[in-house]
Amino acid sequence: MLQIFQLYVFILAGFVGFIVIQRVPPLLHTPLMSATNAISGISLVGAIVAAGGQYGKLATILGFIAVVCAATNVVAGFLITDRMLAMFKGEKAGNAKEQADKKAEAAK
Amino acid sequence: MSVLASLFAAIPVPAAETLGGPLTTRDWIVQGAYLAASILFILGLRSLTKPTQARLGMQQAAFGMLFAVIGTLLHSGIITYTWIIAGLILGALIGYPMAMKVAMTSMPQFVAFSHAFGAIAATLVGVVEYRHAFEMVNGVMPGMNHGIAFAVGFEVLFGALTVTGSFMAFGKLQELITGRPITFPGQNAFNITLIAVALLSLGVLTYDPTQAWAFYTVLGLGLFLGVSMVLPIGGGDMPVVISLLNSYAGLAASATGFAIGNNVLIIAGALEGAGGFILSIIMSKAMNRSFANIIFGAFGSAPSAAAKAGGPVKEPKTITSEDAATQLAYAGSVVIVPGYGMAVAQAQHTCRELHELIQKKGGQVTYAIHPVAGRMPGHLNVILSEAGIDYGALLTDVDDANRVLQTADVAVIIGANDIVNPDAEEDKSSPLFGMPIFRPWTAKTVFVVKRGKGTGFSGVENPLFTKDNTLMIYGDAKGVLGNLVKEIKALDEGH
């Protein structure tokens, strides 16, 4: 039964993701990828459980490596996304297309 | 067992182990943190639909991640914190300089690297989970059922595949290994056999979770498949590969969530899985190719790429930077079509200088950005934004851009090739045929800035270069643009 509930959560989350992400403009596709990458660093949660759960020495070592990797993924992912998004400036956003449309009409 | 059981206990649905067990206050706090994190992740992704809100939204998503981590640390199953804290600090120390130093042109490599790291974590967690359950009672696994065995197997398969696949992609992008497809006879049959064996092993593991060999076969094949499947894919197809790996990394994270019974992992993984999937579809549409063709097609591996028979080979015409500068200075509308060559040459800042000069002269400058320009989805948008170019000047829709090109005085192609190849529309035998492309030749004049004579990544000849209104300017993009800037400035001084 539990796994059916999990499947529900998975499918609904995927559905929400699909609907939301479909509307992300091509302009922001690179930040989108680094953003989802950062979010999937959520493996960190699993890594923390493995490293801190006292499953034995090997598990702690593997868990520790997993925590390091996932934390790197999270920190680097969110920082680079922020760095990129800070670069997008558009006081005159939309201008290019509008002017081009106007011009095209004038040319007619 | 205690950790698995307590993780299940934290979920407000009756798991077999916890039937009737009431939720503690701590469980409520942990689950509340996870729910908040999930909502913030979704809102963060939604903020990316508008460039003006994106930054704030993603900062909130970062807080969501913090909630999830704090929530996990509060978990009753966590006994020792030493290694966790040490790992978190070390990860932050590695991640911070990495993110702050990386050049925008290297973004694809960076993302590939980051995918690999997340996938290493997911894979290792899978190994720990499996071993933990396996070691419990000599060969019998009370905590392991078929569903969990499948989830753990799926997790290590996709995790391992993403680890090596991402490192391969990284190697190709960084040019540590050749960007050309590496092929050998029977490669596809070989890969398909491997996939079949991996899936079969996954089936065995699901049927009988005690079969440790099946688990390690899945793990090993996953690692091997990542290498052997990325090997035959060319550098120009990297946007698709990176999107696919993005999707796989998400699926691996989601499977981890299934394995340890954690909803926030399932949700975050599903979000990334969906994102990567959508981007893969957009990328393959933009190349008019199917997934199967990209993965098994080894595009451009034939070095000859069918030199077209018949018809004398026309020599492209060239133009000096002085003449080109004059035309640009008096153009009313200029459309720049950048490709990966611009990124490689780091020409974006010089390009902005040129842009501003033309604007000062009364001309209008726009950019036509193809979905697959660069080495990852949307790569050129980031590079031009880095140079301070207003994103309002970036046309990311192929049809919009073609409309603007029709009325443009000058189209300047900088380091792009396949995305402006008329064969995609005119020559049915061309491997590019059917790919949506820009039509710069509809502008009055076309300047092509190119390092030298030769073909693009696909290895296909480009008839655009010999069109009547096309003029070539050979040289490194940065150098050529620098010369154009100098010449336009000289025009002013001459007055």
Phi/psi of residue B141, each to 5°? -120, 95
- DSSP letters of B143-183? T--HHHHHHHHHHHHHHHHHHHHHHHHHHHHTTSS-SS---
Domain enclosing residue A58, as ranges: 30-85
For residue A29, give the chain B residue with the closest CA: B378
Contact A17 B275 (CB under 8 A): yes
Question: Using CA atoms, how far apart are residues A77 and A86, in angstroms rounded to an integer?
Answer: 14
More confident residue, A29 or B6: A29
Which residues in chain B have Cβ-Cβ distances shorter than 8 Å to A52? 77-81, 83-84
Residue A101 lies in a domain: no
For B418, what's the count of Cα atoms within 13 Å in the CB-facing half-sphere?
26
Q: What sign has the CA pseudo-torsion B161, B164, B169, B172?
A: negative
Q: Which CATH superfamily is domain B321-494 in?
A: TPP-binding domain (3.40.50.1220)
Question: Using CA atoms, how far apart are residues B386 and B389, in angstroms rounded to an integer?
Answer: 7
Residue whose entry in the numeric block shows the structure tokens 């046309």: B395
Residue A91 lies in a domain: no
* pLDDT number for residue B381: 92
Beta strands in B258-355 (DSSP E): 333-338
For residue A103, give the chain B residue with the closest CA: B407
* pLDDT number for residue B323: 87
* pLDDT number for residue B490: 86
Which residues in chain A have Cβ-Cβ distances shorter than 8 Å to B392? 90-96
B-proximal residues of A, 51-90, CB under 8 Å? 51-56, 58-60, 62-90
Domain count, chain A: 1
Contact A85 B58 (CB under 8 A): yes
Residue A63 lies in a domain: yes
- DSSP letters of B39-99? HHHHHHHHHTTSHHHHHHHHHHHHHHHHHHHHHHHT-TT----HHHHHHHHHHHHHHHHHH
Q: pTM to 2 decimals?
A: 0.85
Residue A19 lies in a domain: no
Residue A79 lies in a domain: yes
* pLDDT number for residue A81: 94
CB neighbourhood size of B90 (10 A): 17
For residue B412, give the 3-state DSSP assignment: strand
For the stretch A76-105, pLDDT in tens is 999 999 999 999 887 654 555 555 555 556
Question: Using CA atoms, how far apart are residues B230 and B224, in angstroms rounded to an integer?
Answer: 10
Residue A45 lies in a domain: yes
Nearest to B3 by CA among A57, A67, A66, A54: A54
| Alpha carbon of A47: minimum distance to chain B alpha carbons (Å) | 6
Buried b / exposed e across B310-346, counting CB within 10 Å, b at 16+? eeeeeebeebebeebbebbbebebbbbbbbbbbbbbb
| Mean pLDDT by groups of 10 residues along chain B of 495 residues | 43 38 82 94 93 92 94 83 92 94 90 92 92 67 78 94 93 83 80 91 89 92 92 80 90 91 92 91 82 60 40 73 87 90 88 90 91 86 91 89 90 88 83 86 89 63 84 88 88 70
Q: A103 — contact with chain B (CB < 8 Å)?
A: yes
For residue B140, give the 3-state DSSP assignment: strand
Residue A78 lies in a domain: yes
| Alpha carbon of B231: minimum distance to chain A alpha carbons (Å) | 22
Residue A8 lies in a domain: no
* pLDDT number for residue A104: 55
Catalytic positions of B: 418
Tokens of B26: 């701590």
* pLDDT number for residue A1: 63
Establish whether this prediction's ipTM goes over 0.90.
no
